């Protein structure tokens, strides 16, 4: 094989790789749009009247996740099944965002932490790496850390909306989450950096709870029986 033939073959391989990446980008753009629609929908819970419509918003968000599952099915077909991590960077960010959104929906519905397996099911992908397109553990953890920041914001807005019991429940949940993360030996620099931000979320929520205590509103929240979910 001549040098020109060798480079012609290399160019062919590069061209195929670029085609795959372009096809992946198109699907990822669609996923990002769906994620924006879900986020816009869920942001309504931060407004006063939004607390009364949480079940309806969660139901609508789950309908959007049906679109996500369809888009994920399309994404799976755009690259060789054994090359997940070769192209992982293309969908890593949007997948983390979708994990956060799924976790937020589950929290709003039941005030519990969604498992990685449950998130994978919501998104229509696998939890087990051996079974193909899957939810990477670090992507799951990154999404959960974003949830913590969102709940810190929700705690503040709950007080504004007159829901004094929710910040207490959020505080308990976030402290349990923080304890869980402390059990992990995080070596990924990006994930470790994001985890470091969790202490600020904990502090922010503690300040809200302290303020409620000073104003005597935490007693009112306890007597009130936990408030609306």
**Can you say which residues are annotated as belonging to the binding site?**
150
Instruction: Tell me phi and psi for residue 212, to 5 degrees.
Output: -65, -40
> What is the distance between the alpha carbons of residues 34 and 20, in angstroms, rounded to a whole number?
22
Q: Which residue positions form the known binding site for Mg(2+)?
A: 150
Output the 3-class SS for the chain.
CCHHHHHHHHHHHHHHHHHHHHHHHHHHHHHHHHHHHHHHHHHHHHCHHHHHHHHHHHHHHHHHHHHHHHHHHHHHCCCCHHHHHHHHHHHHHHHHHHHHHHHHHHHHHHCCCCCHHHHHHHHCCECCHHHCCECCHHHHHHHHHHHHHHHHHHHHHHHHCCCCCHHHHHHHHHHHHHHHHHCCCCCCHHHHHHHHCHHHHHHHHHHHHHHHHHCCHHHHHHHCCCCCC
């Amino acid at each position: 094989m001549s040098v020109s033939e060798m480079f012609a073959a290399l160019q062919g391989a590069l061209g195929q790789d670029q085609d795959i990446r372009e096809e992946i980008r198109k699907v990822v753009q669609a996923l990002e749009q769906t994620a924006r629609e879900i986020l816009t929908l869920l942001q309504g819970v931060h407004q006063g009247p939004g607390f009364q419509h949480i079940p309806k918003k969660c139901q609508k968000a789950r309908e959007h996740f049906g679109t996500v599952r369809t888009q994920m099915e399309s994404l799976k077909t755009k690259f060789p099944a054994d090359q997940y991590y070769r192209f992982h960077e293309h969908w890593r960010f949007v997948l983390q965002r979708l994990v956060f959104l799924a976790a937020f929906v589950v929290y709003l519905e039941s005030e519990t932490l969604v498992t990685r397996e449950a998130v994978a099911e919501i998104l229509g992908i696998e939890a087990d790496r051996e079974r193909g397109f899957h939810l990477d553990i670090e992507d799951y953890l990154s999404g959960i850390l974003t949830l913590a920041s969102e709940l810190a914001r929700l705690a503040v807005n709950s007080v504004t909306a007159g829901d004094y019991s929710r910040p207490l429940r959020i505080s308990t949940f976030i402290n349990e989450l923080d304890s869980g993360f402390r059990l992990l030996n995080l070596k990924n620099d990006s994930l470790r950096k994001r985890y470091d931000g969790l202490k600020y979320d904990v502090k922010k929520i503690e300040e809200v709870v302290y303020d409620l205590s000073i104003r005597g509103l935490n007693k009112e929240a306890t007597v009130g029986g936990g408030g609306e979910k």
